[in-house]
Amino acid sequence: MISLLMPQILIVPGIGLYRESRRRAIHASQLSKKYEIPIIFSGYRLDNRMHLLENPESIEMYNIALEYGIPSQNLFTESSSVNTAQNLYFSKRVMESTPTLQHLREIGIVDNKIHLMRTLYTARFIFPKNYSFEGFSLPLFSKDNPNEFISNIAFELASIPFEISSWTRTLDGLKKYEKSKNLEDIIGRKLTK
């Protein structure tokens, strides 16, 4: 992939499914090593084949990144979000409240191919105008596990109907935001300072 932006930090929104979260954490770890940058893992709920895991999704991804050799001082989490806009909003709050992250303005977002466009689009509303974004989509083929190719394609294709309905909700929230300039219209919940 040719990147137009040299990211200073990665944000990895959760998806709520362990296998997909694992793929995101591994890809983000590879990018973190390549660019020598920190990662924020975002997400609360994580479902592993019909039962919820003990840890929030962001913590599970954090642990995977540790296994892949990313130092803990380069890893950050937020476990309050349950949707894309909240992933971005609460990641932004982590950046604002962490002195070593406050100056970073060039953000790489790691997501699957189907969802990445909506995540990047939503980020433009959550973050101030002086931030830049680059999308890093998950590879369909992995040298580590070439047998996953078919299941990765199947997952991406199965995501399309859900993504269409999610775009509808996102656009509805953005229309409300355009009128009110109230971030709560995008993220779908009351904000606390």
pLDDT (tens digit per residue) in 32-53: 999 999 999 999 875 555 456 6
The CATH number that applies at residue 110 is 3.40.50.620
Predicted confidence band of residue 67 (pLDDT cuts 50, 70, 90): very high
Q: Could you tell me if residue 193 is inside a domain?
A: no
Q: Could you tell me if residue 108 is inside a domain?
A: yes
Alpha-carbon span 6 to 153, nearest angstrom: 28
Q: Could you tell me if residue 192 is inside a domain?
A: no
pLDDT (tens digit per residue) in 81-92: 988 889 999 999
Q: Could you tell me if residue 191 is inside a domain?
A: no
> Residue 178 has what DSSP assignment?
H
Main-chain dihedrals φ then ψ at residue 54, nearest 5 degrees: -65, -40
Q: Residue 172 pLDDT > 80, yes or no?
A: no
Tokens at 25, concatenated? 């954490």
pLDDT (tens digit per residue) in 94-127: 999 999 999 999 999 999 887 888 899 899 989 9
Which residue shows structure tokens 């995501």?
Answer: 159
Q: Could you tell me if residue 2 is inside a domain?
A: no
Q: Could you tell me if residue 165 is inside a domain?
A: yes
Domain holding 142, by residue range, is: 9-186
Please count the structural domains in the chain.
1
* Helix, strand, coil percentages in the chain from 3-state DSSP, rounded to 5: 50, 15, 35
